[in-house]
Amino acid sequence: MIELNNLNGYVILMGILPYENIDFLKKIMKAYLSTSLSESYGITLLEALNAGLPIIGLDVPNANKSIIVIMKEDMVQLIKVIILIMQII
């Protein structure tokens, strides 16, 4: 999906990383993308908020009001928001 929508310069899939890399990553990240269909207020969202990152997430029950919420059926809108935020920051 990343290549199909020309998001290579915007999205990096990091995989599992050691915890000691978290602070470094928060300093170089421009935004946090949460694609969970169920998690609405997890520790990773709190860490992103603490780092001052804009958060893009899907419309899930009890979603944090600090998140830019995208309807989970609208992946085109999700991609547009990712590109818009990356151009602004």
Q: Residue 88 above 70 pLDDT?
A: yes
Cite the DSSP H helix spans in the chain.
22-28, 43-50, 75-88
pLDDT in tens, 30-83: 888 877 777 666 788 888 888 888 888 777 766 666 666 666 667 788 778 878
What span, in angstroms and rounded, lies between the C-alpha atoms of 87 and 33?
15
Tally Cβ neighbours within 10 Å of residue 49.
15
pLDDT digits (tens, 9 = 90+) for 16-34: 888 888 778 777 888 888 7
Per-residue pLDDT at 68 = 66
